[in-house]
Amino acid sequence: MASLVEELLVCLKKEQEAYARLLDMSDGKRQTIIKGQVEQLEAITAQEEEISSELKNLENKRTGILRDMAVVLGHDGEQFTVTKVIEQLDAQPKEQQDLTEARDALVDVATKMQLANAQNSILLQQALEMVEFDLTLFKSLKQAPETANYDKNAYNTGELLSSSFDTSQ
């Protein structure tokens, strides 16, 4: 059981470190979004995908360790969490404290990451709205109203008004 606790502790710390790296990257991502640097945003996103893959592997490992702990402690078939493991370690206060600290650090950094993701999502949505506005504006600048000219078959000719406004007056 002690080796499983140690393995779980190492896994939790690695997860916390990976989330901390993502959190650091999100600050740079925020500035990149604000400045509209698409190439840099793509590079950051690629790095985030690598870390996310690493986090998924760590999550699978943690789930496996918890499953093994459930079997050892006689809770087979039951959903076993880090909190339940901590509760089961009353006889081992040092391991209990280490796991509690690792869990709390992981929860803290994951919460901060969630907040940063929400902020970046809002920034991206605003950036997309601005691009859409710009595109609409540029389209409307290039279009002039159609004239009401009809051909001999009573079809609109679709001619556009030409601007002959002289700004030098």
- Is the residue at 147 inside a domain? no
- Is the residue at 158 inside a domain? no
The model's pTM is 0.72
Q: Which domain holds residue 119?
A: 2-141
- Is the residue at 161 inside a domain? no
- pLDDT value, residue 90: 81
Q: What is the pLDDT of residues 96-153, one digit of tens each?
A: 899 999 999 999 999 999 999 999 899 889 888 988 888 888 777 766 555 666 677 7
- Mean local confidence (pLDDT), 38-58: 93
Q: How far is CA 89 from CA 84, 101, 103, 147, in A?
A: 9, 14, 14, 83
Average pLDDT for the chain: 84
- Is the residue at 114 inside a domain? yes
Q: How confident is the model at residue 73 (pLDDT cuts 50, 70, 90)?
A: confident
- Is the residue at 47 inside a domain? yes
Domain of 92, CATH number, reads 1.20.58
**Helix orientation angle between 2-35 and 93-142, rounded to the nearest 10 degrees:** 20
Count the domains in the chain. 1
Q: How confident is the model at residue 75 (pLDDT cuts 50, 70, 90)?
A: confident
